[in-house]
Amino acid sequence: MAGKELFKARRMFVEKATKVLIDQLLDDLLHDRVLNEGQKDSILEKNNTTADKARSLIDMVVKKGDVASRKMIDHLQSRDHLVHSELGLSSGQPALGLSSGQPALGLSSGQPAQPAAEPQKQQEWSTRLIRTREDSWKKKQDDDVYPVAENSKSNRVALIITNMKFTDEKLNRNGAEKDEKNMVELLRALGYEVVKYRNLTGKLIDDAVIEFSKHPKLKEADSVMVVIMSHGKLGAILGVDWKKEISDDEKPDEFPIDNIYKHLGPEKCPALENKPKIIIIQACRGEKEGSVLVRDGANPAVVSDAAGEENIEDDGLRYVIQEKDFIALLSCTPDTVSYRHKADGSFLIQYVVEVLNTFAHKDDIDELFRKVMKRFEDLPFQTKKQMPTKDRCTMTKRFYFVPGL
């Protein structure tokens, strides 16, 4: 029953509800005639703290019964899906029927109740990685798919760099521990050996990527993943010693994102030539809002075009494309911020984990990233401030993780 369900979530609702959320719910419930103007004013005027307002609101609605409680649960889901999820409330359920002879809210007893709208089916997200069926994988293997074999899967390697603690403590990234834990669990489930670093300067991030490019497993691996989580700006990841104001002779503590592509490209890392290189970056790319939570063999030769092709002989030299087989998912569009929950971690990492757990057994990486982006499009209106973007995609084939096979 909706009333009992809402009552069980009472304590956490009082803790989680913000003033903005309470105001929105009051307007919604007033519109639905669950509350009247006097009741709304009483909740706002007789309670000094946000917690008291939240407590008064939920108590008043629960006393009105299951229909009123269901309406509040549904409005809570549409207004703040994170709080709705944290409270463990059901979703997408039609309003419960009333007993015979009892009028629906807002209708006189002489008016026939309108048929309930068909509820939209809610996507259920898996908390564990779903395995790929062997017959399903056989159907996907063709010339347009990057090869995945048992030996290459066993040599997968991933790099994770998470900056949590900064020299300027005001920049500390609360919730980043949850992001790191979730990504490590996901990558290991996908078959990647995880190389993990924490709290690096920009120079040390660069050193870590270079060291990763020399990992002995790369020659046999079918793919690699690089996940970097920190503060950022357009084109750069911030190191832990970054500060807003520096002297003229100081260099900012930053790692240029371009360096990932240089260090893992064919000139510096021939072991990864023609193999998928998947990059995920959780960091701001500016200070604007996008529409809390916190804002958050031998090396192949690369021949210059300056020499005419007619002057080049076949002497072991060959052209390679400097940047190919990459795909990156950045947490937001250029010049904008990305967001992180202080307890649950960033929206991007939460959604990456949920989407890959649920769909990596059947979708390729490009489609998986599209599904992550779609999650942000489905956010309630007031939180539509961030949109991840796929970037520098040079993959010429489809790549499947093939988990569990």
- The residues that are catalytic are 231, 284
Q: Compute the distance between CA of residue 249 and CA of residue 384 in angstroms, rounded to an integer.
A: 40
Copy the structure tokens of residue 308. Answer: 């005419």
Between the CA of residue 113 and those of 71, 100, 101, 107, 233, what are the distances in Å? 16, 12, 11, 8, 55
Give the position of tokens 């989580």. Answer: 229
Neighbouring residues of 147: CB distance < 8 A, sequence distance ≥ 6: 141, 222
Q: Which of 234, 341, 344 is nearest to 294 (CA)?
A: 341
Copy the structure tokens of residue 328. Answer: 């990156």
Strands 232-233 vs 236-238: parallel, antiparallel or unpaired: antiparallel
Q: Compute the distance between CA of residue 261 and CA of residue 381 in angstroms, rounded to an integer.
A: 36
For residue 236, what are the β-bridge partners?
233, 256
Q: Compute the distance between CA of residue 68 and CA of residue 32 in angstroms, rounded to an integer.
A: 9
Coil vs helix vs strand at 194: strand
Coil vs helix vs strand at 159: strand
Q: Compute the distance between CA of residue 314 and CA of residue 135 in angstroms, rounded to an integer.
A: 44
DSSP string across 363-378: --HHHHHHHHHHHHHT
Copy the structure tokens of residue 334. Answer: 């250029």
* Residues 142, 309 contacting (CB under 8 angstroms): no
Q: Compute the distance between CA of residue 403 and CA of residue 130 in angstroms, rounded to an integer.
A: 7
Copy the structure tokens of residue 130. Answer: 């779903």
Rg, Å, the chain Cα set: 26
* Residues 37, 30 contacting (CB under 8 angstroms): yes
Q: Which of 246, 168, 237 is nearest to 204 (CA)?
A: 237
- Give, for 184, the enclosing helix (H) or strand (E): helix 176-189
